[in-house]
Structure 1
Amino acid sequence: MPELGKLVAFFDFKDGRDGLLHFSGMTACSETLSVITRRRFCVQATDNTGKPASTTPARDKNKPTLDRYYKSVYFILHDKFWIGHGLVNSDWAKLEEEFNHIGKPSPKPKGIIDSVPFISSGTKLAQLAVLFGLGEPSLGYYNNCEENYDAIKQCRDAMPILDMEKEKDMGSNIYPMISHLRKFQQPPEKATTKSARGSEPRKSQKLEGKENPPRKSLAESPSSLEERLLVAMKREDRVTFFDFKKGSNGLLHFGGMEVTSKTLEFITETRFCVQATQINGRPARNTPAWLKNEPTLSESYNRVYYMLHNKTWIGHDLRKSDFPMLEKECKHIGKSPPRPKEIIDTVPFISSGSKLGKLAVLLGLGKPAARLDCRNCQVNYNAIKKCRDAMPILDVEIEQDKESNMHPMISLIKKYQQPPEEETSILFGHEEETTKRKSPQGKVKDGGVRKSLRLKEASQRLKKKSM
């Protein structure tokens, strides 16, 4: 295989569900994977004459063809090592086809590093790469390239967790994960210019020599929708993920999700943004002028209370951040704050230094969502579900809590919880109590009252001296 060079190119070029062709590409340094330039766009497919294909939906007839962007694509890709998922069998062929249609010379790779052989290898790192999203299509198809890029960087961070040392490429300073991916490459046959569109059979089509298995009816399926809904309707089987923090735009962002405790099956979700308030319940003075029309928590209080009160709470830094802020806002608007039945905070689990805890951070547990602060709760929920899939990869024993019938990851996180002081003052079903201490003789003394009396006496003495 030829030398990698100083620049590599990540790219993805596939058919989208909207009928357009989605391109995303970036040029990066081969040693650090620092991004140098990136480009992404959607174009119409073309026919042999270079005109827009007749299959383009009517609403997208005004979209350009590749002829407008071919210089950018050529600059990003030509004479560089290409890195991506399914490049050999899909993206390269489609790219050549479109360049031929518009009568332009297509970019040629210096070499191709396809992630498909790596993922198909079944190694532990490959299994983690799937959890990180390598090769998984994103909601915006032109984001696939960035998803693969991020997944490869996360795999690099996961190598120490799997006790894998940095791998050098022939004594050079190539990025370790790129060196690792190259080991799985086989010299590919030159991709044909035949379009990859329609090369994969649809799920509804019959495979050669095989028939599609008959679909099970709802009544026959053991995990049918009806059964899941019946489980979801039991309130005692619910747990609530929630997040309540100040966002980058100055508003307070709330996100809450109710899920089943055993399988983490999604039930319902609520998220919104509100203004912070003062003690009198009015909007805070430091709220930006363009956000003065946003509501306060009083308008969404009932939804929050119903979702959180007397439930098991799961989240990141709930004890020190989210719950105190929620309690403060509820008092400002003159409402009683919801009380948890139990709090399961992920901070002790992440801080434990365990392999699964380190991996949870890479999967996004405790990390704020980019520009979507009200979705932090969903990020934590997805990370915990992925951690469950990673437990066999890291040889973590899966234990089911028979008493509480909790999800294995929730049971594991509970083991790291340390009962904080004055826990009874915030849990549901316990009255708030003032902090009391016992004297050596065993008599109970109210420390808070005695301290306030001493301060009052000291202030009176100062007044007498000044007179």
Structure 2
Amino acid sequence: MEASGSSCTEVGTEIVFFDLETNVPRRTGQRFWVLEFGAIVVCPRNLVELESYTTLIKPKDLSVVALKSSRSDGITREAVENAPEFEEVADQIFNILNSRIWAGHNIQRFDCIRIREAFAEIGRPAPVPVGMIDSLGVLTQKFGRRAGNMKMATLASYFELGQQKHRSLDDVRMNLEVLKHCATVLFLVHIIA
């Protein structure tokens, strides 16, 4: 609780960092299925995590998930076979995303599309953001190639934040830490220059 008694929402819309893990289509015509959703809601005033949510998701076609995972995220068919289907967690996902600022790494070209597809699949309107922070675009433009490529794993390694786990909740927390570190570096460079 803040000493002034003012709430986070008084300073603006909360930011929700989110990430999806999906299958990787292996043949033409095969679609992406969301296998995991993870999100943290942070206060834009101080970037404190206010809430989090994560769930594995059972795809309608279990054959898209390998029996034994060679995936970096370790998600196997056994892990998702007893998980809820997207329709069962759609309300929670909608509530955490809708009318908030969305943030994530490469979300405009990947995660946002998959969310819209998943909601369309169940015949429901998708959540709508009030703003968007795609850290891939922001960091490419503002931070440049200081760390090498702009993959989350490379950026995390550059700032010695550990290895990317490719699990949704871990990745969104890492994404926030990478942004904090990049902002600090840019701030310091600006002061020194």
Between the aligned partners of 1:357 and 1:327, the Cα distance in structure 2 is 33
Between the aligned partners of 1:275 and 1:253, the Cα distance in structure 2 is 9
> What is the match of residue 388 of structure 1?
183
Between the aligned partners of 1:297 and 1:310, the Cα distance in structure 2 is 20
Between the aligned partners of 1:253 and 1:228, the Cα distance in structure 2 is 38
1:105-184 map, 5 Å: none
One-letter identity of the residue aligned with 1:341 = V
| Deviation readout 1:244-296 (Å, 9 max, x if unpaired) | 23269x9622111111112212211111111233xxxxx45434452322211
Q: 1:347 to 1:233 in 2, by over 3 A?
A: closer
SS of the aligned residue for 1:340 comes to coil
SS of the aligned residue for 2:7 comes to helix
One-letter identity of the residue aligned with 2:18 = F
Between the aligned partners of 1:263 and 1:356, the Cα distance in structure 2 is 27
| Deviation readout 1:285-327 (Å, 9 max, x if unpaired) | 4344523222111221111111111111111111110011111
One-letter identity of the residue aligned with 2:165 = A
| Deviation readout 1:99-121 (Å, 9 max, x if unpaired) | xxxxxxxxxxxxxxxxxxxxxxx
Between the aligned partners of 2:163 and 2:116, the Cα distance in structure 1 is 21
> What is the match of residue 326 of structure 1?
115
Between the aligned partners of 2:175 and 2:21, the Cα distance in structure 1 is 14
Between the aligned partners of 1:382 and 1:228, the Cα distance in structure 2 is 26
Match of 2:105 among 303, 316, 324: 316
- Normalising by structure 1, we get a TM-score of 0.31
**1:384 shift after superposition:** 1.3
Between the aligned partners of 1:369 and 1:247, the Cα distance in structure 2 is 18
> What is the match of residue 127 of structure 2?
338
Between the aligned partners of 2:11 and 2:35, the Cα distance in structure 1 is 28
Rg (Cα) greater in structure: 1
SS of the aligned residue for 1:241 comes to strand
> What is the match of residue 434 of structure 1?
none
> What is the match of residue 56 of structure 2?
273
Q: 1:349 to 1:368 in 2, by over 3 A?
A: farther
One-letter identity of the residue aligned with 2:16 = T
- Normalising by structure 2, we get a TM-score of 0.70
Comparing both structures, which one devotes a greater share of its residues to helix? 2
* 8 Å CA contact retained: 1:350, 1:357: no
Q: 1:363 to 1:333 in 2, by over 3 A?
A: farther
> What is the match of residue 164 of structure 2?
369
Between the aligned partners of 2:110 and 2:97, the Cα distance in structure 1 is 16
One-letter identity of the residue aligned with 2:7 = V
Between the aligned partners of 1:304 and 1:269, the Cα distance in structure 2 is 11
Q: 1:332 to 1:256 in 2, by over 3 A?
A: same
> What is the match of residue 71 of structure 2?
none
Match of 1:241 among 5, 11, 17: 17
Q: 1:228 to 1:270 in 2, by over 3 A?
A: farther
| Deviation readout 1:392-422 (Å, 9 max, x if unpaired) | 44x125xxxxxxxxxxxxxxxxxxxxxxxxx
One-letter identity of the residue aligned with 1:276 = P
Q: 1:373 to 1:307 in 2, by over 3 A?
A: closer
| Deviation readout 1:421-458 (Å, 9 max, x if unpaired) | xxxxxxxxxxxxxxxxxxxxxxxxxxxxxxxxxxxxxx
> What is the match of residue 286 of structure 1?
64
Q: 1:258 to 1:353 in 2, by over 3 A?
A: closer
**1:375 shift after superposition:** 1.8
Between the aligned partners of 2:96 and 2:53, the Cα distance in structure 1 is 9
1:215-226 map, 5 Å: 225-226=1-2
* Structure 1: gaps (5+ residues): 1-224, 278-282, 398-467
| Deviation readout 1:141-180 (Å, 9 max, x if unpaired) | xxxxxxxxxxxxxxxxxxxxxxxxxxxxxxxxxxxxxxxx
**2:101 aligned with 1:305, yes or no?**
no
**2:36 aligned with 1:253, yes or no?**
yes
SS of the aligned residue for 1:261 comes to coil
Sequence identity percentage: 16
> What is the match of residue 28 of structure 2?
none
* 8 Å CA contact retained: 2:8, 2:45: no
Report the aligned-residue RMSD. 3.2
**1:343 shift after superposition:** 1.2
Between the aligned partners of 1:247 and 1:363, the Cα distance in structure 2 is 29
* Structure 2: gaps (5+ residues): 25-32, 68-76
One-letter identity of the residue aligned with 2:40 = M
> What is the match of residue 73 of structure 2?
none
Between the aligned partners of 1:265 and 1:318, the Cα distance in structure 2 is 21
**1:338 shift after superposition:** 0.5
| Deviation readout 1:338-382 (Å, 9 max, x if unpaired) | 0111111122233337458638822389x9822534421111011
